[in-house]
Structure formats: C-alpha cells, structure tokens
A and B are shown apart, each in its own frame.
Chain A
Amino acid sequence: MKIVVCLKQVPETNDVTIDPVTHNLDRRGLAGVMNPFDKNAIELALHLKDTADDDVQVALLTMGPDDYAESLREGMAMGADAGYLLSDRAFAGADTLATGYVIAQALKKIGDADLILFGRQAVDADTGQVGPIVAEFLHQPQITYAASLRLSGKNEVTAERLLEDTKQTLVAQLPAVVSVRSELNTPRYPTPRNIQLSFDKPLTVWHHDDLDLDDTRLGQAGSPTIVTKVYAPEPVKRELTPLTGTPSEAASQLIKALKGRQLI
C-alpha cells in the first residue's frame, strides 16, 4: 500500500504581513515550520504503516521553495519513507486551485497512491481547499475533516466525520483523498536517531520540466482567485465598569447595570 501525505510549510510566527501588491501573505524572510495540522495526517499514515498487515510505504509531498525540504525531513524523521518537493519559480503565487493542479500532476507522476492524506487546513491561510481540489483533479472520492479512519477492507477506508450535531460515517473506495482533523491523534515526536536517519532517505526535487503541466494553470497567472483587500479588524473598544465594595454590593451593582441595559 502506498500513502502520500501532502503538507505545507507555514510561517513560524503569527505576526505575518500582507504583500501590498498581491495582497497575499508575505512569507519572505520568515522562518518556516511544518503546518501543525499536517502532522496529524502524517501520524495517521504512520499508524497505518505500524499496524497494517501489508507493507505500507509513506511518502510526503509539498510545493514551495527549497527550504520546504526541512518540513519533509521532519516528516521523514517522524517515520515517512520518502519526500517529494515541487519547487519552481513558475509555481510561485499560486492560489489553492493552481496549487492543487500542480500537486495533482505530481501525484500522477508518483503513481499508484492508494490513499492521499491532507491536514484539515493550513494555519497561515486557513482555507482547507487544496485537498478537495486535488481529489477533483484526480477524479477520486474524498472525505474531508475525518475524525477517525481505518482500513475496512482490502480497497476501502471507513472514516467518521464529526458534524455540528451528528456523526457521519463514510466508506470510500481506494484510491481516495482524505483530510483529517487534529482530534484524530497526537503526532509522535521525531526521535533524535530518526532525525539523523532521515537524511539517508530519498528526497526528490521536481521542477517545472519534471512534470506534465499546462503552463496556463500555473502560478499567479493560473490563479483565478483575486484578493482585493486583506485587513486586520479594528480592535473593539469596550466600556469597563469596575464593581466595588463587598461581594454583595458588587453583585447588586452588576444586577442594576444589566437591568439598566435591559439584558435581564
């Protein structure tokens, strides 16, 4: 069985700025870390590898600059067998559709992936769209936000989705694309030894010419999303009324204030 986990490297800080021209997140010069939610997807893949009767190979796939290799190495230190980095200037500035297109083309080249896993969303842009887009490009069934997943037959998985007021159980024929929730598991730490050994594992870098691509679908030009404005909401100024005196007096003041505003 072959599992491919797609991951993203995100800025280490919450203090990101917006590029004034493209209105995209400005990631230049920011230290990156693996998107935390993607670790849940890796952990699921490694759990299946640890517990399945058959041999399970786990590969990682990401798209971004050269330094995204660090997140692939970290995932391989957790226990994944191989990593693929899609890196080319032609891919830069892609929205979720253009990103999903390149990733889908890379998955076709990797070939024979039985299960393609995603974290539920990236913490920098928070869209959660790339997994479903990849599933559509590959014409594969998809399950999003899985809170549990098991191999329920030779060629199928059963996943549970936690919805607002109900649980939904879905069965998908493999190959399939699944995005997972963080409640699914607690990702393992890479051990110091596995960190060292990860550098003996294969990490393949594919550039534009290594993939079968339609150039009109790449990068910013191939991205139909137009970000017209991104802004931080103004902090709401709230009125603060101190309650004074004994607890009983303070409670009376509170009741009076709430009644005065017709809240009780």
Chain B
Amino acid sequence: MPSTTAAAEKLLLQMVDDYTAREISPQDMPMDAAGDFPAGFIQKLTNTGFLGIMLPQEFGGAGFGPEATAKALNHIARGNASTAVTLEGHFKTIDQILKFGTPALQKQLLPSANDRIFAFSMTEASGGSNPMGISSTATREGDHWVITGDKIMITNGGLAQVYCVLVKTAPQELSVFVVDQDMPGFSFGKREDFIGLRGTPVGEIVMDHIIVDDDHLLGKLGDGGKIGDSAHDDARVLMGAVLTGIMEHELKIATDYAKERKAGDTPLTALQVTHRKVADIAMRKETTRLLYQNAAKLKATGQPYSEEAAMAKAHGSRAAVSAGDDTLQILAGYGYSREYPVEHLIRDARAMEIAEGTVEKMRSAIATAEFKK
C-alpha cells in the first residue's frame, strides 16, 4: 500500500488531469486569442478548490506540500500555462503570509484564500529587479500607516483581491504590507497587453493614502528585501513546474505530428533531423522536471532551495522557448500558423525568462551561490 501522502498526491494529480482535460485545455487557444480568462472560468476553478491546494487545512485548504503543489501546476500547464501561472502567483503570496505573517494576520486573511486570489507586487516604473529603486511608501501617522504608490506588472493584478505590496518605510528600508482591494484609496490601473500568458491578467494597482494598522505589516519593518527574495524563490520553483508542463505539451505536438507526417515518402519519424529535435525537446523537459522537483523537495524538507529554484526557472524558461522553436520547425508552416498552439507556447515560455527575475539575474544568483561554496 502506498503512503497516505503518495496516495493523496496520486488522487490529486488524477483529478487535476481530469479537470485539465475537460475544463482547461479546451480554453487554451480561445484564452490566447481573447487575452483573458473566459467568463466563469476562475469561479469554477475556485469552486473546485484549486485556490486552496497548498493552503493548510487549518485555514480550510487542502494542505498539499510543495512537491505535490508543484506537480499539480506542472499537470495544469500541460493544458494551459496561464491558468498555472495565475495559481503560481496566488500560491507564492500565500507562502509569504505563512512564512512571515503573525498568527493573527494568518487567521484574518488566509481562510479567504480559498475563494479570493492573492498577489504579490514589487515592480514599479522606477524599479523592478532593483527593489531600492521603488517609490511607494508607507508613512507612520499616529497609530497607523499611510500607504501611497503605484505598482505595475503584477501577476493577477486586477484579478486578485488581496495584495502584498513592497514599500519603503524609510529611505533605505523595505517592508511589506497587505492591502485589500476594498480599502479606501485602492484602485486598479492599466492592464498590460503582453504577448504571452495572455489569460493571466498582469496589471497595475494604485494606492492613494491607504490607511492600515500595524497588523497588516508582513514580518518586521525592514524585512521587505528578505520577503521579496523568498517570494521569488517560491515562484521560481513553481515556474519550473509550469515550464515542464509547457514542454510536455510541445513534445506531444511534435511527436504526434512527426508520427503522421511524411517528407516525400519518408516518415518524419525516420529522419535523423527529427530525432535530434525530438530528443533535445525531451531532454530539456526532463532536466527541467528534475530541477523543479529537486527544488520542491529541498523546500519540503526545510533545506535551502534558492539556488536550485533559480536553476529551475533559468534553465526551464530558455529550454521551453528552444523546445517550442524545435517543435515549430518540425511542424514547419503549420507550426508558424496561429491555428496551431506552438507559437503561443513559445510566447508563454518567453515570459518566464523575464518574470520573477530575469534569467540574467538568475545566473548572477547561481554564480554568487557557487562562489560562496
């Protein structure tokens, strides 16, 4: 008999596969064309309990660990990467509230994470990968804080209802507060028109003198950099999983096509040039899987996983773009057509060479970690 954990994970993935096949995959192409989730899509996802996959059971969630959660996103991304990335943005935010929030803040916020999407926002027009470049501030006035600023390019921005926001509490001090879309002074701004992951909304929030108490501070004053780094790490593990799912999708398209198509009288499956491409796609997919699952395992067992998470995202994002390019080449004219999903899979994968830290920043982080050894 398998362990309870393994048996539960198997049932979870079985349900995710079933749901993805019936509810998510059919929306993959329409979502890319429309640039949004279809009406009712997120509500159905919510009703089926997807938002609570990794939320501890004490808050009404399912309480799956980092490995099962990442695998679930891997399987969802086989059908549609935008859905998986929206869940990734939600899960990484919950993770920070679990790591840094007080028990009171967790009790106040987290039960609603089963029904409301959470988002983590750092980027501003004046600073993305350089957090000290941001302009948003939280100023102490009496016994409360006044938050003012403008956050852009937020994954789930406009869709999420709860936001962890990185602000300056002193000229050289970064802190994170939790704000709610229902608070006076909160409004939504522009939604980005990105070329990939087009189902996932990425947008702006404007904070105009939002007043919060001390209990909305995540961690301690000055913990902003640490919390931001942690959010990146958690997102990168999950992005490795999403990228693996994209490559599984690409590999299936490439092999299905090659098995049916001939070049002249020769089946594509008999051509060495096809072998090379298919083998490369398969190896890229498998190395990314091993990287994200290793990072998730380290996280699950309480070991450092920052470097491994960076590897999963840095390797996986370029691997998925290259795998998409090889898939496109196998399909040739059909691959270049919008009637086939290959071109949008490349656009989807390309987003992850930028989001949650550029691949250049990943490589710096990996190299720095290696120099320290």
Interface residues of A (CB under 8 A from B): 33, 66, 69-70, 73-74, 77, 189-199
Contacts and interface: CB of A to CB of B under 8 A. Distances in A.
A189 B12 CA distance: 10
B14 A199 contact: no
Nearest to B18: A189
Nearest to B114: A193
Given A191-B48, A195-B12, A70 B7 contact: yes
A134 B14 CA distance: 31
Contacts of B52: 192-193
A192 B7 contact: no
19 contacts: A66-B1, A73-B7, A74-B14, A77-B11, A77-B15, A189-B18, A189-B19, A189-B48, A190-B11, A191-B62, A192-B15, A192-B49, A193-B52, A193-B60, A193-B62, A195-B62, A196-B64, A199-B4, A199-B7
A227 B72 CA distance: 43
Q: Which of A66, A77, A194, A195 has the most CB of B within 10 A?
A: A195
B61 interface: yes
B10 interface: yes
Contacts of B63: 193, 196
Nearest to A190: B15
Q: Give the interface SS of chain A, mostly helix, strand, loop or mixed.
A: helix
B129 interface: no
B49 A191 contact: yes
B1 A195 contact: no
A73 B50 CA distance: 19
B53 interface: yes
B57 interface: yes
B8 interface: yes
Contacts of A77: 11, 15
List 3 tightest A-B contacts by C-beta distance, closest first. Answer: A191-B49, A192-B62, A193-B62
B7 A193 contact: no
Interface of B: 1, 4, 7-8, 10-12, 14-15, 18-19, 48-50, 52-53, 57, 60-64, 72
Contacts of A192: 12, 15, 49-50, 52-53, 61-62, 64, 72
A69 B11 CA distance: 12
Contacts of B72: 192
Contacts of A199: 4, 7-8
Contacts of A194: 49
A197 B4 CA distance: 11
A65 to B, nearest CB: 11
A189 B1 contact: no
Contacts of A73: 7, 11
B62 A70 contact: no
A25 to B, nearest CB: 22
A43 B18 CA distance: 16
A194 B62 CA distance: 7
Contacts of A70: 7, 10-11
A198 B62 CA distance: 11
B62 A196 contact: yes
Contacts of B18: 189
A189 B17 CA distance: 11
A193 B57 contact: yes
Nearest to A195: B11
Given A70-B11, A192-B62, A195-B62, 12 more contacts: A69-B1, A189-B15, A189-B48, A191-B48, A192-B49, A193-B52, A193-B63, A194-B49, A195-B11, A196-B57, A197-B57, A199-B8
Contacts of B57: 193, 196-197
A190 B12 CA distance: 8
A33 B8 CA distance: 15
A69 B10 CA distance: 13
B61 to A, nearest CB: 6
Contacts of A189: 15, 18-19, 48
Contacts of A190: 11, 15
Given A66-B1, A199-B4, A193 B61 contact: yes
Contacts of B48: 189, 191
Contact of A196 (B1, B8, B10, B19): B8
Nearest to A194: B49
A110 to B, nearest CB: 23
B91 to A, nearest CB: 12
A17 B308 CA distance: 44
Contacts of B53: 192
Contacts of B49: 191-194
A197 B15 CA distance: 15
Contacts of A193: 49, 52, 57, 60-63
Nearest to A12: B14
Q: Which of A66, A73, A193 has the most CB of B within 10 A?
A: A193
Contacts of A197: 57
A195 B15 contact: yes
A67 to B, nearest CB: 9
A153 B62 CA distance: 38
Contacts of A66: 1
